């Protein structure tokens, strides 16, 4: 009996089963794609975090402990790939007697062993001269006005100065970690690396500083720089736990004789937060699509519900039991689930190979297999819920006579009678009020803790809103198609003519099915709109973050000791490819006893040189506040923290102490507070000030520039940066947006959403088209009997077109309008709740109008194609159609 039933389904209900299997395939493919991408992203985060660390461990040998014994313990660890001792000595300063005598303050001298630069290539970058020997840090070279070939004097505490000849000038890209206080808490770390640094070969370093070590051993220490095996777990959180445990194990084995500066652990600690956000994105952007695919499958299966009930009633009238009927439904569900899962997994593998170059999306084999199995199981569950469960429920709850009824009175759904849609919307508002408030942490990663906390409660807001608005749309369209049938008939008059009332009456009798189809289309459009809007906002804010960090397309940062005026801008503007150059002052000012960064800008041109958004300011727009800076030169923008600490109000006098360029003493300069600045190009994340550069120069007697923002028009950024580096040499630091974009961005730096975005938006587009066209096609197919009877009674082509086009137009207009409204609401909530993903937060979501236009056009085209096909098929001879039924 089962094989007969299955053969009949495949032969006579091929389209319905294929459509249901397609819905399952979409869900399986989407889950497999997103799951494999999530796993691959986590592995990428771990690899990138590890590769960005120059020295994995800096092992500080404590006083009284033999460095050799600690070195032996470190090298005995199987995970150690390289371990070298590095000497650190405090110096009283450096002196260079060239054309003019230059002397610096205190500094640090490193003793570097042979092979160090090969073992740790990311720690030092040669700028000029030799890459070995006596190497002077870039800023120190600028302070001394010294370079390769010059002889400088190295001050030693309690011992006469030593003289060395400079072989090269270098940059220290990892200076912050290199000069950390190993074992100190994050709050007690130095705010900046030392200004003056010299690197000596280890033998020469011992020769110079062993005498100082005998008199002042507290000023001479030894560190072991260690490179570890990066064969770590692919998940950043697990990798962080493993490397942290290994560091603590070393400290225990040395009995406190060594403290580990765990640079690799710090990098992985940041990556685990990124991984948590990636997981959140998977849930926010992936699960709604899978749920929508499940709803589409349910709608496809529900389109033939009346026919299925009649078939079950016929089987039961001929002696089939409820159990046998259930088994037959289980067979149909299994065929749909297996076929859909196989097709979905094949599609996922194809998408992975096309979009990511690998069927596994770059994930490990074990992880890819796990997600494949999970997605297939999800497909079988969807098939069971949409095919088997309704059939079992009908078989258990309905009598044979009730199942054979074609027309009957339907009750309003239970959720409608109890107002579930209003309850869900109220709950969504309450959750959003909590999760959307300032200071709410979606992901909490406590410093030094092996675990992180993710507030999955935040998912409730968008999820409840999505469901609540969907059910509300169902209620409204059910009411419109029922009691508002006259209004619907009037709207359909251009399509149906004199039959508009009849068409409206027909849709009123089918309003449950039609309202469900409208809501399904609306949810699909909302999913496409919210996903596309989030992805567009993400890309835009990642670019804004890079602009904030770097300042402009190319930024030239002068050494702190350099005295470069605004005229340097003309020299930079002459470089081929440069569109404009904006000078930016960088000073330090005392606000009371608090030392803060102060940026002097040219108000008339700063907005054209870099990206300034209104969200960066409070108290006015970017345009308004820069105009005020120009009109009132003594105006100043301060941070919110400063406003709170000093109880400032608009127009209040704020006296700052700035260093006078002539006397080098701090002098009081009056300013007037006009607004709050929260973000600014090249500025730190904490408190800072923004003022009029001309006013600052006038009051301090110095127009010294700290940085130049170079605009290339967004083209040829890397070549222009190379030309500027060649022009300036080691006297300044040149950074470009292309490099910064790869290194920094939003808090999901390691997650490349480009490929994922294409996959998600393609699925969203398919779901929107399928939700409209496929459901309409199946609904019309199930009413072939109605159209055949109408044809037999003399209905012409125009009248049949009125019936079909009226239903298609109602579905299109209702679904697109409701989908647009739901998508707008969900997008706003998504961007607000996921504020932690964006740094800085966007002032408003970025709407991808071209993509949304394509969604609308393809959906309308799918509905139009289905309607045209249905009209053509409806003209077949009525006797032939009825015989097939």
Strands (E), 513-603: 554-558, 580-591, 594-601
Instruction: Give the pLDDT of residue 418.
Output: 85
Q: Tell me the H-state helices in 384-459.
A: 389-397, 400-403, 414-417, 420-435
- List pLDDT tens digits, range 461-493: 888 888 899 999 999 998 998 888 888 888 888
- List pLDDT tens digits, range 63-75: 778 888 999 999 9
Cα–Cα distance for residue pair 63/258, rounded to 1 Å:
9
The answer as to whether 881 is a domain residue is: no
pLDDT band, very low/low/confident/very high, at 156 (cuts 50, 70, 90): very high
The answer as to whether 703 is a domain residue is: yes
pLDDT band, very low/low/confident/very high, at 23 (cuts 50, 70, 90): confident
Q: What is the DSSP letter of 436?
A: T
The answer as to whether 574 is a domain residue is: yes
Q: Which two tokens stand for residue 879?
A: 């006797």
**How far lies 63's CA from each of 54, 214, 226, in Å?**
26, 13, 20
The answer as to whether 827 is a domain residue is: no
What does the pLDDT average to over 311-326?
A: 71
Range of the domain at 609: 549-743
Residue 144 has pLDDT above 80, yes or no: yes
Q: Closest Cα partner for 788 from 695, 882, 681, 859?
A: 882
Are 52 and 174 in contact by the 8 Å Cβ rule? The answer is no
Cα–Cα distance for residue pair 811/516, rounded to 1 Å:
10
Determine if the pTM surpasses 0.75: no
Are 805 and 867 in contact by the 8 Å Cβ rule? The answer is yes
Angle between helices 14-51 and 2-12 (to 10 degrees): 90
Residue 563 has pLDDT above 60, yes or no: yes
Instruction: Give the pLDDT of residue 533.
Output: 86
| Domain closes at, from 743, 765, 792 | 743
Q: Closest Cα partner for 495 from 485, 483, 503, 507?
A: 503
The residue assigned the tokens 């209900």 is 13
Cα–Cα distance for residue pair 269/276, rounded to 1 Å:
11
Residue 288 has pLDDT above 50, yes or no: yes
Question: According to the 3-state scheme, what is the secondary structure of 649-678?
Answer: CCCCEEEEEEECCCCCCEEEEEEEEEEEEC
pLDDT band, very low/low/confident/very high, at 634 (cuts 50, 70, 90): very high
| Domain closes at, from 699, 719, 743 | 743
The answer as to whether 833 is a domain residue is: no
Are 18 and 291 in contact by the 8 Å Cβ rule? The answer is no
Residue 343 has pLDDT above 50, yes or no: yes
Residue 720 has pLDDT above 70, yes or no: yes
Q: Which two tokens stand for residue 649?
A: 């109000």
What does the pLDDT average to over 846-856?
A: 88
Are 368 and 36 in contact by the 8 Å Cβ rule? The answer is yes
Query: What is the sign of the dihedral through the CA atoms of 864, 866, 867 and 868?
Result: positive
* Cβ burial 549-565 (10 Å sphere, 16+ → b, else e): bbbbbbbbbbbebbebe
- List pLDDT tens digits, range 8-18: 666 766 777 88
Strands (E), 732-784: 732-736
| φ, ψ dihedrals at 671, nearest 5° | -135, 165
**Contacts for 220 with CB less than 8 Å, ≥ 6 apart:** 87, 88, 89, 90, 209, 212, 213
Task: Look at strands 168-171 and 135-137 and give their pairing.
Answer: parallel
Q: Closest Cα partner for 800 from 809, 810, 788?
A: 788
The answer as to whether 696 is a domain residue is: yes
Residue 262 has pLDDT above 50, yes or no: yes
Instruction: Give the pLDDT of residue 390.
Output: 79
User: How many residues are listed for the chain in this entry?
Assistant: 885
The residue assigned the tokens 């992901």 is 443
Q: Tell me the H-state helices in 457-499.
A: 460-482, 485-491, 493-496
Query: What is the sign of the dihedral through the CA atoms of 271, 272, 278 and 280?
Result: negative
The answer as to whether 459 is a domain residue is: no
| Domain closes at, from 680, 712, 743 | 743
Angle between helices 511-550 and 460-482 (to 10 degrees): 140
Phi-psi region of 260 (alpha: psi -120 to 50; beta: other; left: phi over 0): beta
Instruction: Give the pLDDT of residue 750.
Output: 44
- List pLDDT tens digits, range 80-130: 999 999 999 999 999 998 777 888 889 999 999 999 999 998 889 888 888
Q: Which two tokens stand for residue 268?
A: 């992985």
- List pLDDT tens digits, range 433-462: 877 665 556 655 555 455 555 666 777 788
Count of CB atoms situated within 10 Å of the CB of 146: 21
Are 277 and 538 in contact by the 8 Å Cβ rule? The answer is no
- List pLDDT tens digits, range 242-253: 999 999 999 999
**Contacts for 424 with CB less than 8 Å, ≥ 6 apart:** 464, 465, 467, 468, 471
Q: Closest Cα partner for 840 from 623, 626, 653, 614?
A: 614
Cα–Cα distance for residue pair 852/848, rounded to 1 Å:
6
DSSP string for residues in 71-112: HHHHHHSTTEEEEEEEEEEEES-EEEESSSEEE---EEEEEE
The answer as to whether 119 is a domain residue is: yes
Q: What is the DSSP letter of 691?
A: E
Residue 657 buriedness (CB in 10 A; 0-12 / 13-18 / 19+)? middle
Cα–Cα distance for residue pair 483/488, rounded to 1 Å:
10
Cα–Cα distance for residue pair 96/156, rounded to 1 Å:
15
Q: Which two tokens stand for residue 841?
A: 């937060």
Q: What is the mean pLDDT of the chain?
A: 82
Cα–Cα distance for residue pair 182/173, rounded to 1 Å:
18
Question: According to the 3-state scheme, what is the secondary structure of 718-755?
Answer: HHHHHHHHHHHHHHEEEEEHHHHHHHCCCCCCCCCHHH
**Contacts for 820 with CB less than 8 Å, ≥ 6 apart:** 525, 526, 529
Residue 597 has pLDDT above 50, yes or no: yes
Maximum CA extent, the chain: 116
Q: Report the domain count for the chain.
A: 2
């Amino acid at each position: 009996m089962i094989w007969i039933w299955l053969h009949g389904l495949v032969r006579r209900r091929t389209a319905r089963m294929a459509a249901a299997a397609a819905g399952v395939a979409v869900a399986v493919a989407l889950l497999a794609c997103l799951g494999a991408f999530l796993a691959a992203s986590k592995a990428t985060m771990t690899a990138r975090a590890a590769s960005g660390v120059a020295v994995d461990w800096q092992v500080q040998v404590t006083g009284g402990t033999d460095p050799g014994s600690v070195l032996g313990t470190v090298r005995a660890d199987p995970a150690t790939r390289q371990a070298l001792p590095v000497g650190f000595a405090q110096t009283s300063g450096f002196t260079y007697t060239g054309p003019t005598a230059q002397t610096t303050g205190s500094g640090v001298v490193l003793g570097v062993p042979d092979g160090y630069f090969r073992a740790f290539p990311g720690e030092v970058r040669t700028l000029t001269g030799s890459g070995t020997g006596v190497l002077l840090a870039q800023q120190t070279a600028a302070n001394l006005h010294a370079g390769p070939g010059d002889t400088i004097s190295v001050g030693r505490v309690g011992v006469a100065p030593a003289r060395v000849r400079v072989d090269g000038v270098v940059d220290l890209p990892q200076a912050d970690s290199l000069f950390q206080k190993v074992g100190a808490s994050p709050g007690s770390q130095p705010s900046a690396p030392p200004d003056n640094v010299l690197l000596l070969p280890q033998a020469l370093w011992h020769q110079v500083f062993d005498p100082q070590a005998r008199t002042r051993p507290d000023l001479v220490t030894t560190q072991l720089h260690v490179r570890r095996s990066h064969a770590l777990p692919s998940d950043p959180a697990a990798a962080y736990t493993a490397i942290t445990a290994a560091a603590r194990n070393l400290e225990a084995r040395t009995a406190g004789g060594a403290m580990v500066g765990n640079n690799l652990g710090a990098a992985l600690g940041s990556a685990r937060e990124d991984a948590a956000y990636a997981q959140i994105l998977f849930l926010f952007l992936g699960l709604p699509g899978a749920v929508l695919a499940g709803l589409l499958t349910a709608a496809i299966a529900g389109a033939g519900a009346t026919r299925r009930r009649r078939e079950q009633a016929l089987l039961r009238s001929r002696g089939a039991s409820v159990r046998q009927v259930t088994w037959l439904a289980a067979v149909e569900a299994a065929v749909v689930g297996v076929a859909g899962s196989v097709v979905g997994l094949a599609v996922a593998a194809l998408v992975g190979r096309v979009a990511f170059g690998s069927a596994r999306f770059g994930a490990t084999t074990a992880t890819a297999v796990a997600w494949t199995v999970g997605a297939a199981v999800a497909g079988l569950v969807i098939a069971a819920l949409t095919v088997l469960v309704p059939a079992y429920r009908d078989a258990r709850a309905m009598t044979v006579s009730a199942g054979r009824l074609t027309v009957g009175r339907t009750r309003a759904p239970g959720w409608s009678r109890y107002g579930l849609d209003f309850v869900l919307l109220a709950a969504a508002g309450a959750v959003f009020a909590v999760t959307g408030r300032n200071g709410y942490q979606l992901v909490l990663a406590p410093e030094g803790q092996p675990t992180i906390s993710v507030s999955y409660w935040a998912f409730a807001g968008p999820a409840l809103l999505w469901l609540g608005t969907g059910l509300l749309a169902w209620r409204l369209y059910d009411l419109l198609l029922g009691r508002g049938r006259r209004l619907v008939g009037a709207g359909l008059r251009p399509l149906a003519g004199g039959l508009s009332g009849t068409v409206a009456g027909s849709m009123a009798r089918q309003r449950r099915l039609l309202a469900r189809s409208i809501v399904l289309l609306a949810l699909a459009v909302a999913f496409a709109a919210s996903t596309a809007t989030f992805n567009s906002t993400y890309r835009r804010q990642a670019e804004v973050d890079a602009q904030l960090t770097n300042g402009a397309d190319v930024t030239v940062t002068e050494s702190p000791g350099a005295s470069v005026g605004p005229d340097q801008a003309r020299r930079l503007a002459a470089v081929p490819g440069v569109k404009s150059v904006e000078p930016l002052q960088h000073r330090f000012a005392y606000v009371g006893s608090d030392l803060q960064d102060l940026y002097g800008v040219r108000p008339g041109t700063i907005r054209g040189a870099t990206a300034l958004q209104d969200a960066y300011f409070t108290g006015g727009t970017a345009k308004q506040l820069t105009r005020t800076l120009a009109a009132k030169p003594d105006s100043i923008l301060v941070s919110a923290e400063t406003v709170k600490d000093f109880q400032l109000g608009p127009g209040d006098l704020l006296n700052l102490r700035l260093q006078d360029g002539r006397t080098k003493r701090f002098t009081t300069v009056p300013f007037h507070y006009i607004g709050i600045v929260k973000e600014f190009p090249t500025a730190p994340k904490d408190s800072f000030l923004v003022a009029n550069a001309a006013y600052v120069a006038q009051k301090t007697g110095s127009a010294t520039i700290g940085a130049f923002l170079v605009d290339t028009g967004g083209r040829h950024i890397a070549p222009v940066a190379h030309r500027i580096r060649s022009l300036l040499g080691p006297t300044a630091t040149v950074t470009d947006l292309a490099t910064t974009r790869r290194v920094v961005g939003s808090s999901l730096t390691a997650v490349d959403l480009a490929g994922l975005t294409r996959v998600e938006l393609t699925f969203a587009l398919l779901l929107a088209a399928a939700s409209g066209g496929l459901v309409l096609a199946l609904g019309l197919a199930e009413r072939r009997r109605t159209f055949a009877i109408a044809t037999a009674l003399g209905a012409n082509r125009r009248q049949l077109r009125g019936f079909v086009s009226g239903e298609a137009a109602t579905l299109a207009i209702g679904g697109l309008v409701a989908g647009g409204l739901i998508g707008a609401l969900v997008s706003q909530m998504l961007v607000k709740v996921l504020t932690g993903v964006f740094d800085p937060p966007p002032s408003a979501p970025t709407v991808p109008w071209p993509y949304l236009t394509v969604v609308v056009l393809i959906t309308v085209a799918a509905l139009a194609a289905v309607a045209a096909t249905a009209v053509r098929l409806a003209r077949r001879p009525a006797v032939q159609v009825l015989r097939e039924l």
